[in-house]
Amino acid sequence: MGLLPQKKRMSMIEIEVKHLSKTFRQKDLSVDALCDISLSIEKGDIFGIIGMSGAGKSTLVRCLNYLERPSDGQVFIEGRELGTLSEKELRRERMKIAMIFQSFNLLSQKNSLDNICFPMQIQGKNRKEARERAKELLELVGLSDKAKSYPSQLSGGQQQRVAIARALACEPSILLCDEATSALDPQTTESILNLLKEINEKMGITIVIITHQMAVIQKVCNRVAIIENGHLVEHGSVMEIFEHPKSHAARELILRDAHGDISGAAAMVDEIHKGQKLRIVFSENSAYEPVISNMILQFGQPVNILGANTKNVGGVAKGDMLLQLPENREMQFKMENYLIERGLAIEEVND
């Protein structure tokens, strides 16, 4: 019934976007929501698209299934350009692409089982077969005992699980998640992300996650694209970007997620003692050594700790810390070299 594990084909490109732009026009007003976006997503991957509110990420995900038609550029799904398809061919292609939303979008007058059966009934599937598959999907998402419950009787996390089961009903090869955890509390968010990861591993479905939360990306995604003001400003593996963010948007998202708004604290420290601000990233090997304490002892100079946190990045324990080094440039240079020699990734964050 489509729930057996499938072998991933990570070398095949499933989604390819080439020079995509989207402009919204109304009378004399035009807004460039997306500008010259190019990226590729491999089959069986969990790919994140992240940006602050209004960055254009939701517009991008709606262009991936042509719910929004790009103003320029091309979208390919397994090598087929969506822009060249007829309406009938496009509807057939969209059957491969399921979508879940922040608001769940369940039918309030139908119970969980009937909500999951609904897309299969639209496709003309036999009622008995549809109900059997719906029961299997309820078991997959951990809600076998909620088959007869209506959306109003379910928690937010349970409603999202039903929405995920419904999205999988017609055996898609791609699952688009548009801010699917934004309305959920942290514990429920983690359970939904674990479920998506399990679905990806069991069924080989390509998952694209749209979010403004770096913690979501770090938890489950392998690769990520960062959107700012409609532009693709950085993309690559989650691990690479966490350790060495190149764009201002990536640094801001990582720092805000790990340490909140540090501008006030940093400003106060500046008044007391000016110096180089440095972000350091600990690997699993370096996390057990008291590197900062040893550095202070060796150089006999104080170091201000502005913030510190630990993260699970793609299943690997990572920690990062914000430091303010002494004002003396020669001492800064020695301390930076000391940290690099001990295998820590560092970057200046004065901006």
Which of 220, 247, 274 is the endpoint of a domain?
247
- In this model, does residue 80 exceed pLDDT 70? yes
Q: What is the pLDDT of residue 259?
A: 56
Q: Establish if 317 belongs to a structural domain.
A: yes
pTM, whole model, 2 decimals? 0.78
Q: What is the pLDDT of residue 288?
A: 61
- In this model, does residue 338 exceed pLDDT 90? no
Instruction: Describe the strand order of the beta sheet including 80-81 as a list of residue ranges.
Output: 29-42, 13-26, 72-77, 80-81
User: What percent of the chain stands above pLDDT 90?
Assistant: 52
Q: Please indicate, yes or no, whether residues 226 and 281 belong to a single structural domain of this protein.
A: no
Q: Establish if 2 belongs to a structural domain.
A: no
> What residues make up the domain containing 180?
13-247
Q: Establish if 3 belongs to a structural domain.
A: no
Query: Residues 166, 15, 39, 105: what is their CA dihedral angle, to the nearest 10 degrees?
Result: -20
The larger pLDDT score, comparing residue 122 to residue 316, is at 122
Q: Please indicate, yes or no, whether residues 189 and 106 belong to a single structural domain of this protein.
A: yes
Could you count the other beta carbons within 10 Å of the beta carbon of residue 78? 15
* pLDDT, mean of residues 122-149: 93
DSSP-derived 3-state class of residue 131 = helix
Q: Establish if 5 belongs to a structural domain.
A: no
Q: Establish if 4 belongs to a structural domain.
A: no
Q: Please indicate, yes or no, whether residues 315 and 179 belong to a single structural domain of this protein.
A: no
Q: Please indicate, yes or no, whether residues 228 and 299 belong to a single structural domain of this protein.
A: no
CA distances for 276 relative to 178, 195, 217, 242, angstroms: 39, 42, 29, 20
DSSP-derived 3-state class of residue 351 = coil
Counting the structural domains of the chain, the total is: 2
Pairing mode of beta strands 46-50, 72-77: unpaired
Q: Please indicate, yes or no, whether residues 34 and 61 belong to a single structural domain of this protein.
A: yes
Decide: 206 and 44 in contact? Cβ < 8 Å.
Answer: yes
Which of 217, 247, 277 is the endpoint of a domain?
247
The rounded distance, in Å, linking the Cα atoms of 289 and 291 is 5
- In this model, does residue 75 exceed pLDDT 70? yes
Q: Please indicate, yes or no, whether residues 40 and 106 belong to a single structural domain of this protein.
A: yes
Decide: 12 and 43 in contact? Cβ < 8 Å.
Answer: yes
Tokens of 106: 């369940």
Q: Establish if 256 belongs to a structural domain.
A: no
- In this model, does residue 268 exceed pLDDT 80? no
Q: Please indicate, yes or no, whether residues 221 and 292 belong to a single structural domain of this protein.
A: no
- In this model, does residue 192 exceed pLDDT 70? yes
Q: Please indicate, yes or no, whether residues 242 and 267 belong to a single structural domain of this protein.
A: no
What is the CATH number for 168? 3.40.50.300
* pLDDT, mean of residues 211-216: 89
Residue indicated by tokens 């699952």: 175
Decide: 228 and 32 in contact? Cβ < 8 Å.
Answer: no
The larger pLDDT score, comparing residue 54 to residue 117, is at 117
140-156 tens-digit pLDDT: 999 999 999 999 999 99
Q: Please indicate, yes or no, whether residues 130 and 270 belong to a single structural domain of this protein.
A: no
Extract the runs of DSSP E, i.e. beta strands, from 43-119: 46-50, 72-77, 80-81, 97-101
Q: Please indicate, yes or no, whether residues 194 and 272 belong to a single structural domain of this protein.
A: no
Q: What is the pLDDT of residue 22?
A: 95
Q: Establish if 254 belongs to a structural domain.
A: no
- In this model, does residue 273 exceed pLDDT 50? no
The rounded distance, in Å, linking the Cα atoms of 349 and 351 is 5
Q: Which of 126-130, 300-304, 337-341 has the highest mean pLDDT?
A: 126-130
Average per-residue pLDDT in the chain? 86
Q: Establish if 115 belongs to a structural domain.
A: yes
Decide: 241 and 49 in contact? Cβ < 8 Å.
Answer: no
Q: Please indicate, yes or no, whether residues 68 and 139 belong to a single structural domain of this protein.
A: yes
Q: Please indicate, yes or no, whether residues 204 and 336 belong to a single structural domain of this protein.
A: no
What is the CATH number for 271? 3.30.70.260
